[in-house]
Structure 1
């Protein structure tokens, strides 16, 4: 049990301080470096941790941890409220519909998906993560977060994923203003090549964003003239999810 407890403590520490080095964890716990290293490797082999992409000497939370949250949400009021409206939206537009929740400012996590019947379609694995600033679901949520959170994200730097990723702080702020005005966010190849989406925020009773629901399609089926219609449909779906969750 001692080793299990230690592993859980290391996992929690990585989640809190990521990306973190073996040396930093060694100082934090006062354990031998070899013990910490062995624990990290064991957790990585099980999928709970992974090496940071930019600096492999640093450790961060792995996909397995991120997948636990969606599984836990399946019994939640949000999950229950969202499923039926998502299916109806899929039937209306015949494109993939997905629901994502924010993981603080770390990004968005896909928690549910309803597939369309096109042979060529977008695909989002449950537990997949994406950055707030580069995606429609992320910006839909970001537009309804307090200004201090937006500034914290901007201060940390905005990573570029494509030529169209909004990495200029003023450009991002202007887009967030537009999202609040329109009621939906649009992503055309700003995160993944040839993947587009239109998303709207699911808000709680105080107006804080709990999640975002999105229509996702390949770039080949993206039609700028249809964006206002898609935006209205996904915004209406988000409102319905909010109302269903609150029992309205």
Structure 2
């Protein structure tokens, strides 16, 4: 297909219907049609087609997204070698620190949580595998951002950098300076930039110089401001990243 040809409108509309169903948590054809400013008959055909695939279910006159998406996401994750190798290592960190520990990757210029493990004193932030956040808004994303190819980094920095909280760095020059520092020191630490009161310390997972993901430990800002505690976390997740790297390269 020619790169200059616009995407198929039917495909775009299909996913727009799914977005509406997700946003309103289930709706009938009339409500979806109003949300999309389309004829009810057109929307009904889309909903009927989606229901035939199993990705949408219908009950009591309403359509909602089915758990088939959860099944697909679960299968995707199980196929991911990094997830398989990192999962037990992240569990160890969560048990030893009591904190929330995440495995993150970059996709579509976003930070995506692939897996998370909770410790006995974890913050309850409502995060979940598959959740996406701006790369520039927390340490686990900035570690990824710091190791992206230069052309990709330039495109992201030249785009809109969302002001998530009052502390989020959105100035490209300031952010680039921080990314240079992250590359030099091998880790990132920040707080209050994605969620007020939340701090993150993170290291990259680099295998033969190639970025695979990042490990992030999430904890209250007050705990992370303690330099000694911060250093302990950095040491621990550096060791964890090294273990994951070795097991990925040489394990079965």
Call closer, same or farther: CA 1:68–1:190 in 2, change over 3 Å.
farther
Q: How far off its partner does 1:239 sit?
A: 2.1
Q: Secondary structure at the match of 1:74?
A: helix
The answer (yes or no) to whether the contact 1:97–1:215 under 8 Å persists in 2 is yes
Aligned partner (choices 155, 159, 162) of residue 158 of structure 2 = 155
Q: Whose radius of gyration is greater, 1 or 2?
A: 2
Cα distance in 2 for residues equivalent to 1:218 and 1:126: 20
Aligned residues: 209
User: Could you report, residue by residue, the CA deviation over 1:43-95 in whole angstroms, capped at 9, with x for unpaired residues?
Assistant: 896449xxxxxxxxxxxxxxx96994464122321111101211221233221
Q: Secondary structure at the match of 1:246?
A: helix
User: Could you report, residue by residue, the CA deviation over 1:106-150 in whole angstroms, capped at 9, with x for unpaired residues?
Assistant: x11112111111275555212211111111111111111111111
Residue 146 (1) aligns with residue 160 (2)? no
Call closer, same or farther: CA 1:70–1:110 in 2, change over 3 Å.
farther
Cα distance in 2 for residues equivalent to 1:247 and 1:12: 43
Q: Which residue of the partner structure matches residue 219 of structure 1? A: 221
How do 1:54-93 and structure 2 match up within 5 A?
A: 68-69=72-73, 71-93=75-97
The answer (yes or no) to whether the contact 1:95–1:215 under 8 Å persists in 2 is yes
Residue 191 (1) aligns with residue 194 (2)? yes
Aligned partner (choices 103, 122, 129) of residue 126 of structure 1 = 129
Q: Which residue of the partner structure matches residue 138 of structure 2? A: 135
Q: Secondary structure at the match of 2:244?
A: helix
Unaligned 5+ runs, structure 2? 1-7, 17-37, 57-62
Call closer, same or farther: CA 1:65–1:93 in 2, change over 3 Å.
same
User: Could you report, residue by residue, the CA deviation over 1:12-68 in whole angstroms, capped at 9, with x for unpaired residues?
Assistant: 887xxxxxxxxxxxxxxxxxx6476553896896449xxxxxxxxxxxxxxx96994
Call closer, same or farther: CA 1:184–1:119 in 2, change over 3 Å.
closer
Call closer, same or farther: CA 1:37–1:210 in 2, change over 3 Å.
farther
Unaligned 5+ runs, structure 1? 1-5, 15-32, 49-63
Q: Which residue of the partner structure matches residue 107 of structure 2? A: 103
Q: How far off its partner does 1:96 sit?
A: 1.0
Cα distance in 1 for residues equivalent to 2:171 and 2:195: 18
The answer (yes or no) to whether the contact 2:100–2:123 under 8 Å persists in 1 is no
What is the root-mean-square deviation in Å for CA atoms of aligned residues? 3.2
Cα distance in 1 for residues equivalent to 2:95 and 2:115: 16
Q: Secondary structure at the match of 2:170?
A: coil
Aligned partner (choices 157, 173, 178) of residue 176 of structure 2 = 173
Higher normalized contact order (CA 8 Å, seq sep 6+, divided by chain length): 1
Q: Which residue of the partner structure matches residue 210 of structure 1? A: 212
The answer (yes or no) to whether the contact 2:169–2:175 under 8 Å persists in 1 is yes
TM-score normalised by L of structure 1: 0.72
